[in-house]
Amino acid sequence: MTDDLRIERVTDEASLQDWRHVHNVIVPPDALTLDEVRERAGRHLLDVAYLGDALVGCMTVRRPTADAPSVATVIARILPARRGQGFGAALYAHGLTEAHALVPAPDTIETIVLASNEDGLRFARTHGFEESERYVLPGATVPYVHLRLPSDGAGRTMAG
């Protein structure tokens, strides 16, 4: 069934709205406006996933920054009704490929999951991520969990 999954870069208003919809369903305490999504699309790689015409999920690949020049962040989000069907693994694998193709290629891959998203935490841990940090944004009550893929010591992540 995942062979029919279509992953597309966010390029127009419709895909911006679809990406925003998935993000806001999965991360309601940090709901974004369309303008905020447009701004993120200028800094990050944003993709949406469809099964036929049905929206399944979205993905973000955050490029390394001056503060973390060897770290990329891959976040795959799947709508609750579509979980457990292999779409998360397919979207995550796509995100890893995108992250490893960045120039320069990152040595470390991280992800971020809202602590209340038990499915997301389970998925990350099943795919080799280990918790590295928890924090609560000002005014929020639910922490975010940063998870990191262990490295093989030669700058390559052990998964992907």
Q: Per the domain annotation, does 57 fall within a domain?
A: yes
What's the pLDDT band for 136 if we cut at 50, 70, 90? very high
User: What CATH number is attached to the domain comprising 53?
Assistant: 3.40.630.30
**From residue 120, how far is each of 66, 70, 72 by CA, in Å?**
28, 24, 18
Model pLDDT, residue 139? 86
Given this model, what pLDDT does residue 151 score? 61
Confirm whether 119 is domain-assigned. Answer: yes
The reply to whether omega before 64 is within 30° of 0 (cis) is: no
Query: How far, in Å, are 28, 64, 115, 138 from residue 141 at the CA level?
Result: 12, 28, 10, 8
Sign of the torsion formed by the C-alpha atoms of 20, 25, 26 and 32: positive
Would 156 be classed as within a structural domain? no
Domain annotation covers residue 153: no
Confidence at residue 156, expressed as pLDDT on a 0 to 100 scale: 46
For 8-52, the pLDDT digits (tens) are 999 999 999 999 999 999 999 889 999 999 999 999 999 999 999
Helix (H, G, I), strand (E, B) or coil at 32: coil
pLDDT at 158 over 70: no
Task: Supply the Cα-derived Rg of the chain in whole angstroms.
Answer: 15
- Dihedral of CA atoms 110, 10, 38, 134 in degrees, nearest 10, equals -20
Number of domains into which the chain is organized? 1
Query: Residue 93 is part of which domain span?
Result: 2-148
Q: Quick check: is 155 in a domain?
A: no
Q: pLDDT tens digit string along 49-83?
A: 999 999 999 999 999 988 888 999 999 999 999 99
Asked if the structure places residue 160 within a domain, the reply is: no
What tokens were used for 112? 């971020």
